[in-house]
Chains A and B, each alone.
Chain A
Amino acid sequence: MAEQVNIFIDNKPGRLNAVTAILRDHDIDIRAMTIADHRDYGVAKLLVNDPHAAQRALAEHGFAAALQSVLAVAIADRPGGLHALLEILAQHAMNVQDAYGFVAVPGQRAIWCMEVAEPAAAASLIAAAGLEVLDDSELYRP
């Protein structure tokens, strides 16, 4: 299963910039990211080409950074594409806790990353329904 890097970032000027500087210096490519604001801090979730190297580099610079498994699914980049996936989860009463998505090939392929309570069970249901669950190697390479 794919992994994302979670980072705790103070909500003040220059901190996010410090994260991207470290990633640049370690030649790490960001494929997608999201930040949730919690007043004094934010939690950034990053999908990168080498999550282990990114986590290590950030931790060495004193950041609280953690790896987390995430369910990445390829969907069609057209109206109803995401709905087809969410329909499967809804039918099995599975809740999406956090999610973000990005377009891989415009008009053809998008990728949806999500956190669910039981990722393994969700992955097999999705695969059984004919959708493609991506592993890390496939996901990190452009």
Chain B
Amino acid sequence: MNVPVWNPAVEFMEREALERLQLVQLRKTVEQALKTPFYRRRLGEAGLTRPEDITSLRDLRSIPYTTKDDLRAAYPHGLLAVDLEQAIRLHTSSGTTGTPTVIYHTRRDIDHWTELVARCITATGASARDVFQNMTNYGLFTGGLGLHYGAERVGMLVIPASSGNTSRQIQLMKNFQTTVVHATPSYLLHLHASLASEGVDLEQLALRKAFIGAEPHSEQTRRKIEELFGIAAYNSYGLSEMNGPGVAFECVHQTGLHLWEDAYLLEVVDPRTLRPCAEEETGEIVLTTLQRQATPLLRYRTRDLSCWMGGHCPCGRGHRRLARIKGRSDDMLIINGVNVFPSQIEDVLMKTPEVGTNYLIQIEKRGSLDRLTVKTEIYAKLFTGDARTLEDLRERLGEALRSAILVKPVVELHEPGSLPVSEGKAKRVVDLRPAF
């Protein structure tokens, strides 16, 4: 079979061998989990005290779920399964409000994550001959470093451009004849719209492929990006709790995302009843790490909605495919690729005495990017009539929100009593973006 492959032995492993490997790794993961205070208690309560208690993959169902709240409660060390000395990196969730979450990595964890990303990159047909411009944020966000390491391992020439600064991105693409980029779909649309004003023609660029991820998008959006740039765009899925990018990726056939089943055990469940979903039935993605040493996670509820695709991919890989992400089973918003919970915004507003308790969060498309507007009410008793005080308040709120959610919002001030009241089930989030 003539498709580009990074690790043929694993990627074309027979189903039976793959499941044997999964069982071995699941036991190892339980063994590793039992070294953490969190899982010792949680698994103990479920009567699971030894890795040998797991005798088949079906026993996975006897393991309790892990949620984001569990990760928050275990912050910062409750889920650490190795000595800190062995950990060489951590990634922590964004935000200065609320409790963050943290994932630690040993050298082997980073090495393995890098291997997964190298597989993803290679599966799209990209190779050492490519010039790769990584347009996602470096730092605590896993998208930047995750793709960076994988691309270096493949041997691509990596331009660690990070996110933003469109004018510089375009210059880099032109000067170094970038062939592959990694970005959010909305950023690529924005970038395309900026080409003309930068005086750069598509002909002056050498772009062939884009890896797009970090925000849910439709097949139409993908096709639009492909047509505008005249390239192929590949869907990428990952989440920081599962390392980051590299969990599932499209191959050259672009028919769903191969999930690396030697590294992750995937279940799809009904988010309300937790009943397992059938193939092609949409539910919540639940993932178990199979290779991670420092922060093993068992049956982690991702809150992302999708389904297993049936059938086989023409590429011949045995690793089954996930359909594109269809949404969330919680209230998390994804704004220009950044995850934002409405509660983070509420926290900031409630700490600001000059604004009332009613608020409204509005998200809309402005050009190809998302725009977040936070509407608040001024507190009547603190109003003096001085507009400078109000404008200071607007600026202060904008800065506090930006630092909490890493997205700069437009802050609006409104009359007391003009927004939905805080009691009951007031609709606080208005998402005006077209459905994907």
Interface residues, chain A, CB within 8 Å of chain B?
6-10, 15, 36, 38-41, 43, 45, 59, 62-66, 68
In the complex the two chains form, is A62's CB within 8 Å of B416's CB?
yes
Q: Which residue from chain B places its CB closest to the CB of A9 in the assembled complex?
A: B415
* Residue ID in chain A nearest B394 by CB atoms: A38
Nearest 10 CB-CB pairings of A with B: A6-B385, A64-B383, A64-B380, A40-B412, A62-B417, A10-B415, A66-B385, A43-B387, A66-B384, A68-B385
CB pair A36 B387 closer than 8 Å: yes
Do B384 and A41 touch (CB < 8 A)? Answer: no
Render B372-390 as a binary contact track against A, CB cut-off 8 A, 1 for contact: 0001001110011111001
Closest to A62 in B: B417
Q: Which residues of A contact B204 (CB under 8 A)?
A: none
Asked if residues B391 and A66 are in contact (CB atoms below 8 Å), the reply is: no
CB-CB under 8 A from B42, the residues of chain A are: none
Q: Which residues of A are found within 8 Å of B385, using beta-carbon distances?
A: 6-8, 43, 45, 66, 68
In the bound complex, what is the Cα–Cα distance between A80 and B375 (angstroms)? 46
* Chain B residues within 8 Å of A, Cβ to Cβ: 375, 378-380, 383-387, 390-391, 412-418
Nearest A residue to B380, CB-CB: A64
Q: A45-B385, A66-B383, A68-B385 are in contact. Are A8 and B415 (CB under 8 A)?
A: yes
Contacts of B379 in A (CB 8 A): 64
Contact of A38 with B384 in the complex, beta carbons under 8 Å: no
**Can you report 10 A-B residue pairs in the complex whose CB atoms are below 8 A from each other?**
A6-B385, A8-B413, A9-B415, A10-B414, A10-B418, A62-B417, A64-B378, A64-B383, A64-B416, A66-B385
Q: How far is the CA of A54 from the CA of B392 in the complex (A)?
A: 27
Known A-B contacts A38-B387, A41-B413, A43-B385; the reply to A8 vs B418 at CB < 8 A is no
Report which residue of B379, B386, B391, B417 has the largest number of chain A beta carbons within 10 angstroms of its beta carbon: B386
Residues of B within 8 A of A68 (CB): 384-385
Once bound together, how far apart are the Cα atoms of A66 and B415, in whole Å?
13
- Given A43-B390, A62-B415, output 7 extra A-B contacts at Cβ < 8 Å: A6-B384, A6-B386, A9-B415, A38-B390, A41-B390, A63-B415, A64-B383
A15→B415 CA distance, assembly (Å): 10
Instruction: Please tell me if the beta carbons of A8 and B417 are within 8 angstroms of each other in the complex.
Output: no
A10-B418, A15-B415, A41-B413 known; A63-B380 Cβ under 8 A: yes
A62 to B356, CA, bound (A): 13
A6-B385, A36-B387 known; A41-B417 Cβ under 8 A: no
- Nearest Cβ in chain A — how far from B401, in angstroms? 16
Q: How far is the CA of A40 from the CA of B378 in the complex (A)?
A: 12
Which residues of the other chain, B, contact A36 by a CB distance below 8 angstroms?
387
Partner of A38, one of B383, B391, B417: B391
What B residues does A7 contact at CB under 8 A?
385
Rounded to whole Å, the gap between the CB of A66 and the closest CB of chain B is 5
Closest to B415 in A: A10
Most chain B CB within a 10 A radius of its CB, from A8, A45, A68: A8
Q: Bound complex: CA of A54 vs CA of B266, how far in Å?
A: 66
Partner of B378, one of A6, A8, A15: A8
Contacts of B418 in A (CB 8 A): 10
CA–CA, A40 to B416, complex, Å?
13
Find chain B residues with CB under 8 A from A65 CB.
Answer: 380, 383
Bound-state Cα–Cα, A66 to B416, Å? 14
- A64: chain B residues at CB < 8 Å are 378-380, 383, 415-416
Judge whether B414 and A40 touch: CB under 8 Å.
yes
Within the complex, the shortest CB–CB distance from A47 to chain B, in Å, comes to: 13
What is the chain A residue whose CB lies nearest that of B391?
A38
Q: In the complex, what residues of A have CB within 8 A of residue B378's CB?
A: 8, 64
Cα-based distance from A38 to B415 in the complex (angstroms): 13
User: Is the beta-carbon distance between A41 and B414 smaller than 8 angstroms?
Assistant: yes
Closest to A41 in B: B413
CB-CB nearest in chain A for B373: A40
Q: A45–B383 Cα gap in the complex (Å)?
A: 13
Give Cα A7 to B384, complex, Å. Answer: 9
Residues in A with CB closer than 8 Å to B415 are 8-10, 15, 41, 62-64
Q: What CA separation (Å) do A38 and B385 show in the bound complex? A: 12
Q: How far is the CB of B212 from chain A (nearest CB, A)?
A: 34
Nearest CB to that of B356 among chain A residues?
A64
Give the distance in Å from the alpha carbon of A36 to the alpha carbon of B385 in the complex: 11
B354 to chain A, nearest CB (A): 11
Q: For B412, what are the chain A residues with a Cβ–Cβ distance below 8 Å?
A: 39-41
Q: A36 to B390, alpha carbons, bound, how many Å?
A: 12
User: For residue A10, which residues in chain B have a CB less than 8 angstroms away from its CB?
Assistant: 414-415, 418
**A81–B412 alpha-carbon span in the complex (Å):** 40
The docked-state distance in angstroms from the alpha carbon of A14 to that of B41 is: 60
